[in-house]
Structure 1
Amino acid sequence: MTGVFGRAGVGSGGLRELAASFVVPGPAGVAVRDRLRVSESDAAVLTEVGAYLGSLAATDLAERCRQGLAHDAASRAVRKRSLTGRSSARWAGSITKATHDQWALARRGQVAHLAWLRTEIASIEARLARPLGAKADKGAGLVRGYGSRVEWHAKSRRLQTLKDRLTVVEADGAAGRVHVVRGGKQLANTRHHLQAAGLDEQAWRERWRSERMFLAADGESGKRFGNETIRVTDTGQVSLQLPAPLAHLADAPHGRYLLDATVRFRHRGQEWRDRITVNRAVAYRIHHDTVRGRWYLTASWQRAAAPVLPLQAALARGVVGVDMNDDHLAAWHLDVHGNPVGEPQRFFYDLSGSTAHRDAQIRHALTRLLYHTRRCGAAAIAIEDLGFTEGTSREKHGRNKRFRRLISRFPTAKLRARLVSMAAEQDIAIVAVDPAYTSRWGAQHWQKPLTTPRRKPSWHDAASIAIGRRALGYPIRLGAPPRPLRHWGRTAPPPHDQSDRVGHRTAQARPDTREREETRPHIPGPRTGCAPPGRGAKAGDQAAQHRSGHPAEHGSWQQDSLPLSL
């Protein structure tokens, strides 16, 4: 996406200060899932228990929302004691914790919505105050005016709508009142549009019932297999503690129900087994997918906070610069001196279709990127620290609906989170860099020099080099003094037309320097386009290395691990 946002950062007032690159911390938790091939009797019991606990969770959430900002530890203890009598102490603890997390998430969303409303109102007011058709002046801090009287009138009406909405949200925020829907607001709205969603009432009710069920239990370190409420043994046997009113459904001692189905976590299974054998906490969640008609068990646990790898250590073997786009990842391997090595790589994905399809496409593209990084021998991937919170504003890109939709559908947060978690398993560090000007400067300084008859780098390929060089701490453009290239023993060419009128090379190799510039010996062999350095038709001709437009200058070349610039 640098091809879009890199251009927007340049203004008449000068360039903004770039943020320092940093290594992204690894994931703090792990979650794995496996299918539960339950029998009909097991499915009936799980449905009854989940619906009963879901009704308790709904009651507790309503009580928590009524308390608002007056909530404290004492009120939570009262709610937990009330739930304990109708379920058990452990189920009550899981329900109250889930309620607290859901309320806190809604509260954070409310704060973010308030900030967005205030930003939109300020932006519209600033543009309404400008004359019609006025141009923007970034140096003076002036935004552009609206293009016509019709647009101005429509925006003035939208301004009043946003102000009314802001008044309501501010009142809710002051009172600590949040709006939460157990089961999801989107699914609740689908009830009024069943035909458009391709559902009938019965199918919708099954999905609604499934989403409102509660079958989740937090882990407890020191307890048997790390969880007493939903217990999974090292052999994959699953059992759960039944609530007191449903104790008659038990088929095992101590009011427990033992499922016929077993689980076997193939992904991170050994890590999960190592935890439960020493009775370390593992949280479980049982979920019913009504679309597929399947039951799943998700296990999650926290990892010990690992120290963040120093930036220099992460970049000790070079880096793979990655430019994220709406349909592919553009990657190029750079050595420790910032020189592009090999050929550019592109990993495509399709973001159309269902959520599951998009998620699978992202995972597949990231998997290929990680394999490419390991093949290159690099231990770090450089990406842009993107956040499209301001880029999707209607006031910034109002008439360009296609562009706004492109930004809105681009999964920056999900892609980065998945890349960090997947790279941690491969011992690959993720380095985040400032995204400013990477696309503009990359195309300006790298796209044309790297273009050959057999390789035509795109704007995004050049941006990946700029991202990698910024991660390594080098300027994007070729600076002085440059260093010799591999085998050729020559420094970077002068600017412009590479003639002597602009001066000699900025860094001439000393006579005692290895790979210094000298006539290369001619080695007999086939004259092919892919002949290695030192074996071409003009190997001993210095004019081929100094004169612009010479045919030998357009042959394939390979860069050394020596820096082009400092």
Structure 2
Amino acid sequence: MAESKKKLRTIDAPFVALGPSGVAIRTSLKHLTDADDKVLRQVGAHLGSLASKDLKRRCADSLEHSTDTWAERKRTLTEESSSRWAGSITRASHDQWALSRRAQLAHIQTLETGVKTIAHRLSLPVGEKGTKRAPGGYRTRQEWFAKTRRLHLLEDRLDAERADREAGVVHVVRGGRKLARNRHNLHAAQLTEAQWRQRWEAERWFLAADGESGKRWGNETIRVTTDGEVSIKLPAPLAHLANARHGRYVLAAKVNFRHRGDEWADRVSANRAVAYRIHQDVQRDRWYLTASWTIQPVRTVPLAQARAGGLIGVDTNADHLAAWRLDRHGNPCGEPRRFSYELDGPAGYRDAQVRHALTRLLHWAHRRGLSIAIEDLDFTTEKTREKHGRRKRFRKLISGMPVARLRARLVSMAAELGITIVAVDPAYTSMWGAEHWQKPLTSKNRKTTRHDAASVAIGRRALGHPIRRRTAPPHDDQSDRRGHRTAQAGPGARGREGTRPRIPGPRTRSVQPDAERKREPSASTTVRDAPDVQVWV
């Protein structure tokens, strides 16, 4: 019996992505004296120990946390620091606990997916082939036996994670779990014990203060003036280290924010809230100051306005962005563009590659005055080893795609240039694009790739058009036999897949039009200002 046709999933409607809600800028603290370095280390270590104790109490409260317990924790910390330092520490502890809860839920969902996949494959005979909808059985008896053991292991982990979530238990490591594990394998991490200890202590320091609107320079704890002077309110046990009035320590370094410096200066001059964080890069042996504040979300334009002049469809890949410009009717214009990047190397290099590719894409869209359509990708459920089995290269491919980072950077960078980002459902864009657009767009002088065709499919979906292209026009002598081409209609138009309605009267040019056609002339077949009706090109 032939296999039934695969049922397509529901495709979500395209939407305009929201802009960023905050800004963060960073600069280095240069020309620090030995006394400044010593004070920063002592303050960071003291507040870091308080933050560790407070995080332990927050995790112990688990789901029984309330405003009363929060206030009690803050009162305890105020005695050893100050009320503002205590507020920053308690807020950071609560945010870290909440982040761990979200990560715990994601881990449970990953384990559930793995258990479900293994159980399904174990239920099938060994060697049975899979389908497009579900994987088949395991290849050998040895692999089948190994997966039975792994199934028991995943089930035990899943039961433990579910029990922890019901009890409100989370596991948090201040300083990072990865760095903590490196302590037990220093050779593989290429670190000595002294180097590891230095990094571990620097990561566990706490030198962050929330801003306060209405206070002088927008922050009473870490204060930065428009002249670049940086001063810190010392905790009570370290007040004897102050070199200024009111228990403050003024650093010898002068800071200058090169990026968004005017915007930052306007905020601090008006005493608006600005949060600061001081941290040390151990590898470079440098101190940095990060300023951040919230902004009003960028007002998004209506979807119809974003589609008005056409847009640029972008297909995200592991090593490049494939883009193609489309007019408002969904027709590809000009030549496809490719913006390449490399993701091999350290994190800073990879991030710079992504930013460089996005910069070129955005400058092209800005010159054309067009919006950008991109897929709303999420590979969270696709990265498990049980999802694709032996396909290690494919798992490595999708794991290496910077989907979340690229999406966040694209939205924030586009907001600065006033470019609208339209997010579309990624379902079937690559498959249908290659089926309907790759061959027609290929010529002797241009070789259209599958990714270029996918960018056309993405752009058409963002414009509200079906991905399937129109059929070729019939020959003049075969119009009666082959039928007529279909019309370009909106996705909600009824009968859009049907043939063009017949106009009354004879079709040959030798016979004069009948009287009915003279009395009721047909409407123009070219519509330019009504996107909701049929469009004939």
Give the alignment's TM-score, normalised by structure 2.
0.87
2-side partners of 1:101 and 1:363: how far apart? Answer: 28
Give 1:502 shift. Answer: 2.9
The answer to whether the 8 Å contact 1:333/1:376 transfers is: no
The answer to whether structure 1 residue 244 and structure 2 residue 236 are counterparts is yes
In 2: Cα distance, 1:500 partner to 1:69 partner? 73
- Aligned with residue 44 of structure 1, among 38, 44, 63: 38
Alignment check: 8 A CA contact 1:338 1:564 kept:
no
Structure 1 residues 12 and 240: alpha-carbon distance in aligned structure 2, compared to 1, 3 A threshold: same
Q: Paired residue for 2:10? A: 17
* 1:66 is the counterpart of 2:60: yes
Amino acid at match of 1:53: L
The answer as to 2:41 corresponding to 1:85 is no
Does 177-186 or 121-130 show the bigger shift? 121-130
> 2:438 is matched with which residue: 415, 434, 447?
447
Amino acid at match of 1:165: R
Tell me what 2:412 maps to.
421
- Superposed counterparts of 1:188-267, under 5 Å: 188-267=180-259
Matching residue's letter, 2:85 = W
Match of 2:333 in 1: 341
1:502 aligns with 2:482: yes
Q: Determine the C-alpha separation between the residues in 2 that align with 1:448 and 1:39.
A: 67
SS at match of 2:374: strand
Q: 1:202 to 1:147 in 2, by over 3 A?
A: same
Taking only aligned residues, the RMSD between alpha carbons, in angstroms, comes to 2.4
Q: Contact (CA 8 Å) 2:437, 2:453: kept in 1 or not?
A: yes
* Distance in structure 2 (CA, Å) of the matches to 1:565 and 1:131: 55
SS in 2 for 1:286: strand
Q: For residues 342 and 49 of structure 2, what CA distance do their matches in structure 1 show?
A: 39
The answer on whether the counterparts of 2:312 and 2:326 sit within 8 Å (CA) in structure 1 is yes
CA displacement at 1:506 relative to structure 2: 5.9
Q: Contact 1:383–1:433 at 8 Å: present in 2 too? A: yes
Corresponding residue of 2:323: 331
How many residues matched? 492
CA contact (8 A) 2:300 2:420 kept: no
Aligned position for 1:475: 466
Percent of matched pairs sharing the same residue: 61
Are residue 406 (structure 1) and residue 386 (structure 2) matched? no
In 1, Cα distance between the equivalents of 2:335 and 2:364?
12
Q: Within 1, Cα distance between the matches of 2:346 and 2:208?
A: 26
Partner of 2:88: 94
**In 2, distance between residues paired with 1:431 and 1:43?**
47
| 5+ long unaligned stretches in structure 2 | 488-498, 501-527
Matches within 5 A, 1:346-361: 346-361=338-353
1:463 to 441, 454, 458: 454
CA 1:351 to 1:76, structure 2 compared with 1: closer, same or farther past 3 Å?
same
Q: Tell me whether 1:389 sits opposite 2:380 in the alignment.
A: yes
Instruction: Answer whether contact 2:374 2:422 (CA < 8 A) is retained.
Output: yes
Q: Deviations over 1:327-377 (max 9, x none)?
A: 000111111111111111111111111111111111111111101111222
Report the equivalent of 1:317.
Answer: 309
* CA distance, structure 2, for counterparts of residue 440 and residue 404 of structure 1: 19
Shift of 1:287: 0.9
Paired with 1:43 and 1:79, the residues of 2 have a C-alpha distance of 30
Amino acid at match of 1:81: R
Aligned match of 2:159 in 167, 174, 178? 167
Query: Closer, same or farther in 2 for the Cα pair 1:499/1:454, shift >3 Å?
Result: farther
CA contact (8 A) 1:216 1:286 kept: yes
Matched, 1:120 2:114: yes
Is the CA contact 1:451–1:457 (under 8 Å) kept in the aligned structure 2?
yes
What's the CA shift for 1:11? Answer: 8.4
2:28 to 24, 35, 54: 35
The answer to whether the Cα contact below 8 Å between 2:62 and 2:167 also exists between their aligned partners in 1 is yes
CA distance in 1, matches of 2:478, 2:164: 67
3-state SS in 2 of match to 1:392: coil
- Structure 1 residue 220: Cα displacement: 0.5
CA distance in 2, matches of 1:78, 1:162: 40
Listed one character per residue, the Cα deviations across residues 452-505 of structure 1 (whole Å, up to 9, x for unaligned) are 22211211011111101110001112237xxxxxxxxxxx6449x999963466
1:280-299 equivalences in 2 (<5 Å): 280-299=272-291
AA at the equivalent of 1:349:
Y
Answer yes or no: is 1:104 the counterpart of 2:84: no
In the other structure, the counterpart of 1:552 is none
Q: Distance in 2 between matches of 1:454 and 1:381?
A: 26
The one-letter amino acid of 1:93's match is G
